[in-house]
Amino acid sequence: MHIVERDEDLRWILGSAYTVAVLGAHPEPERPAHYVPAYLREHGYRVLPVNPRYAGQELFGEPVRARLDEIGEPVDVVDVFRAASRLEDHLEEILGMEPPPGVVWLQLGIQNDTFAERLTDAGITVVQDRCMLAEHRRLM
C-alpha cells in the first residue's frame, strides 16, 4: 500500500469506497467535521461518525461511536478530522479495526508522515492533506 497523490488513485478511492468512518465527526453544521460528512452522505456514502464526546447520539442517520474499533463492520475509508499532533493517539484504534480499513484519509491541513508510514506498513493506503468534499467535487 502507499501514500496517495495521483488523481487517478483519488478518483478510484472516491468511486469505490462507500462506507466512511469519520473520526472527529461533529454536530455543529458550520464545522468541516460536519458539513464534509453531510456532503458525502448526500452523495451516496454511508457515514459512520466517531467522537467520544458525542457517543450514543445520532449523526448522519447513524449512532456516534466513541472509538473506531467499536464499529464492528467493514469500513472502506477512515476520514480523519483530528490535529496531526493527535494522530498517534488513534493509531492502535485504527490498527485494531476488524477488518482494517482500506484507506485512512487525513483532511486538508492534516499531515503526519510518521503516522502515515506506520499505516502503510500495515497495508493501509493513506491520503494526506486533502479534503474529501473538495476532491469529490473536483474529480467526480
User: Residues 108, 134: contact at Cβ < 8 Å?
Assistant: yes
Residue 32: which pLDDT band, with cuts at 50, 70 and 90?
very high
Q: Could you say which of 3.40.640.10, 3.40.309.10, 3.40.50.720, 3.90.550.10 is the CATH number of the domain covering 3-139?
A: 3.40.50.720
Q: What is the pTM of this model?
A: 0.96
Residue 31: which pLDDT band, with cuts at 50, 70 and 90?
very high
Tell me: the pLDDT tens digits for 95-122?
A: 999 999 999 999 999 999 999 999 999 9
Number of Cβ within 10 Å of residue 7's Cβ equals 11
Q: Which three cell numbers stand for residue 138?
A: 473536483
Q: Could you tell me the residue ranges of all domains in the chain?
A: 3-139
